[in-house]
Amino acid sequence: MRGGLWQLGQSITRRLAQADKKAVTRRCFATEADLKKTVLYDFHVAHGGKMVPFAGYSMPIQYKDSIMDSTLNCRENGSLFDVSHMCGLSLKGKDCIPFLEKLVVADVAGLQDGTGTLTVFTNEKGGSIDDSVITKVKNDHIYLVVNAGCRDKDLAHIEAHMKLFKAKGGDVSWHIHDERSLLALQGPLSAPVLQKMTKDDLSKLYFGEFKMLDISGVPCYLTRTGYTGEDGFEISIPSEHAVDIAKEILEKSEGKVRLTGLGARDSLRLEAGLCLYGNDMEQHITPVEAGLAWAIGKRRRAEGGFLGAEVILKQLADGPSISRVGLISSGPPARSHSEIQNEKGENIGEVTSGGFSPCLKKNIAMGYVKSGAHKPGTKVKVVIRGKSYDGAVTKMPFVPTKYYKP
């Protein structure tokens, strides 16, 4: 187990550093003074948070618990994550939906009020600029959250297209929610604990749904979503109340919900088969190749109208040349860029994320392979430090998801 713990910590640290380096090119020169701090920084330090640079912020990679224990506790009880480094924003105006639909693959107009979906911002070649969870609050208000490491490029991309759209008479404006903080409460105790803090009936709020409500008297945006595969919520809070809400969540759980850092968050999302932008999705990878064709709405498939639609619709019709797959392998955990070979020793792809699964107690990974080699059960070789190890393509998620659905 000790070897597994060490390998887990090492692989997660490398994976997060790599995604961070790709997203923000200056990271290797960042000093503590350069790094931004969320309003919970002192709270993290006081609770034993081990702070590391991530996406321009000083963020906790873990607390007093090991990454292994934190991962297991999230699945058994619950975890509280500070994700305030991520960027929340609102688009408003009568044309905010047609504007956003030029940039993403989702059928935003088809969403019911107060519901959301995962989507992808695409470029002219069909590649992925970023993935994002978007919510249709109502017809003239969209709320979305973009990845911290992609913030600058995402905002520049949205702003450039907004100027063109408005110049043609479109009615859309935006507000970046830098005045708010974001907490993610995940795990089986998330709903019972949060229910103690609000009068609204959370049993009527299902996965992917959004509501503006009071939590302990504080006006919050609540989305039933997350990045762990567990039931849970993302809570957007006025920053001056974030520490108090975090403290109360921990207190109401009687110690069962624990503060959890980036390390366990990464192992949890890998077990859930979820992409990490900068590793598993990049500018040259399309949503179809990334296994996110389900996020392209039926109407969007028929009409197109988003950046790179020609490339993406062709892939939907003909199939992509590469596909994202899950992998189980022997030997040491696979690393990003580990070569994937067929049984003849021929290159068929590359690992993008890999590590030791705390829940399954074995190596898991995801990566891209040539189409034809993507079917579950396909035997492969994974090359790690010049030596090949047996592996097999497997279905994702590795650990069953527990989203709260009707």
Q: Tell me the per-residue pLDDT of 126-158, one tens digit each, with 9 for 90 and over.
A: 999 999 999 999 999 999 999 999 999 999 999
Which tokens is 155 given? 């905002």
Average pLDDT, the chain: 94
> Which pair of structure tokens corresponds to residue 102?
């030029």
3 state SS of 389? strand
For the cut 60, the answer to whether the pLDDT of residue 2 exceeds it is no
392 C-beta neighbours (distance < 10 Å), count? 16
List, as one string, the DSSP characters of 132-189: EEEEEEETTEEEEEE-GGGHHHHHHHHHHHHHHHHHTT---EEEE-TTEEEEEEESTT
Share of the chain above pLDDT 70, in %: 92
The pLDDT, as a whole number, for residue 29 is 44
In contact, 90 and 143? CB cutoff 8 Å: yes
Rounded to an integer, the average pLDDT of 159-174 is 98
- Locate 283 and state its tokens: 């500018």
Share of the chain above pLDDT 90, in %: 92
How do residues 184-235 score in pLDDT, each as one tens digit? 999 999 999 999 999 999 999 999 999 999 999 999 999 999 999 999 999 9
3-state secondary structure of 277: strand
**Lookup: tokens for 256:** 């069962």
Residue 27 has pLDDT above 50, yes or no: no
In angstroms, the Cα distances linking 294 to 96, 105, 127 are 23, 10, 16
Sign of the Cα torsion 12, 13, 14, 18 reads positive
In this model, does residue 166 exceed pLDDT 60?
yes
Query: What is each CA distance from 159 to 56, 97, 106, 136, 164, in whole angstroms?
Result: 21, 15, 19, 19, 9
Residue 6 confidence class, pLDDT cut points 50, 70, 90 = very low
pLDDT of residue 374: 97
Q: State the Cα–Cα distance between residues 214 and 235, nearest whole angstrom.
A: 11
The pLDDT score that the predictor gives to residue 32 is 72
Both structure tokens of 9 = 């910590």
Strands in 218-223's sheet, in edge-to-edge order, are 210-215, 218-223, 232-238, 180-186, 78-82, 257-259
**339 labelled as ligand-binding?**
no
Residues 6+ apart with CB under 8 A from 41: 51, 58
Q: What local confidence, expressed as pLDDT, does residue 18 receive?
A: 64
pLDDT on residue 176: 98
Say how many Å lie between the first and final Cα of the chain, rounded. Answer: 39
What per-residue confidence (pLDDT) applies to 320? Answer: 98
- The more confidently predicted of residues 18 and 363 is 363
**Are the C-beta atoms of 62 and 264 separated by less than 8 Å?**
yes
| 24 band by pLDDT with thresholds 50, 70 and 90 | very low
pLDDT, tens digit, for every residue of 102-123? 999 999 999 999 999 999 999 9
Q: Which domains does the chain have, with CATH numbers?
A: 40-86+179-270 (3.30.1360.120), 322-396 (2.40.30.110)
**pLDDT of 31 over the 50 cut:** yes
Q: How confident is the model at residue 33 (pLDDT cuts 50, 70, 90)?
A: confident
CA dist 192 and 197 (Å) reads 9
**Residue 185: both structure tokens together:** 């409460």
